């Protein structure tokens, strides 16, 4: 029987010296997107900078305010999701990164991937990617 041929392993003395490979998340690509109004999406980071770093007295730099840095990762468990923070978005599980775009609508961030739209929440916790089903919202995003 299969059970008889297996060795009993004491969990207290188990050793990892067998050099068993452990798959890890892998960074695939990093890209910056220009998204008008993205600074308003990230609470507390509405683009205010040290005035010494900018060309104007308001302390804003429109290039940074509208810039979203996106990291595309591959998960060994084929997880599809994201987390965000400070003008940065980390996305797992998208294979075709050439067809990704972003829009702001009513201070909410939306990602279009292939033919689907996804709402992206400002969260440092990992969230699943769930396509939007609201046809009126999809129509608004398509016309923007």
Q: Where are the domains of the chain?
A: 23-143
Calculate the alpha carbon distances from 48 to 79, 92, 103, 122 in Å: 34, 29, 21, 18
Predicted confidence at residue 46, as pLDDT, reads 41
Q: CB under 8 Å, gap of 24 or more: what pairs does 45-53 form?
A: 45/86, 45/87
- DSSP type of residue 12: T
User: For 85-98, how does the pLDDT look when each residue is reduced to its tens digit (9 = 90+)?
Assistant: 888 999 999 989 89
- Residue 51 in 3-state DSSP? helix
Predicted confidence at residue 37, as pLDDT, reads 86
| 55 band by pLDDT with thresholds 50, 70 and 90 | very low
User: For 1-35, how does the pLDDT look when each residue is reduced to its tens digit (9 = 90+)?
Assistant: 455 555 555 555 555 556 777 888 999 999 999 99
Structure-token pair, residue 28 = 């695939």
Strand order in the sheet with 81-85: 26-34, 67-74, 88-92, 81-85, 127-128
């Amino acid at each position: 029987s299969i059970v008889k041929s297996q060795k009993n392993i004491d969990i207290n003395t188990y050793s990892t010296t067998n050099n068993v490979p452990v798959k890890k998340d892998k960074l695939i690509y990093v890209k910056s997107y220009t998204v008008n109004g993205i600074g308003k999406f990230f609470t507390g980071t509405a683009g205010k900078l040290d005035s010494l770093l900018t060309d104007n007295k308001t302390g804003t730099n429109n290039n940074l305010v509208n810039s979203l840095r996106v990291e595309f990762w591959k998960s060994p468990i084929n997880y599809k999701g994201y987390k965000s923070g400070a003008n940065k978005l980390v996305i797992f599980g998208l294979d075709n990164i050439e067809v990704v775009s972003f829009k702001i609508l009513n201070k909410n961030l939306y990602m279009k991937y292939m033919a689907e739209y996804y709402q992206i929440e400002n969260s440092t916790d990992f969230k699943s990617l769930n396509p939007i089903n609201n046809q009126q919202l999809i129509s608004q995003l398509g016309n923007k």
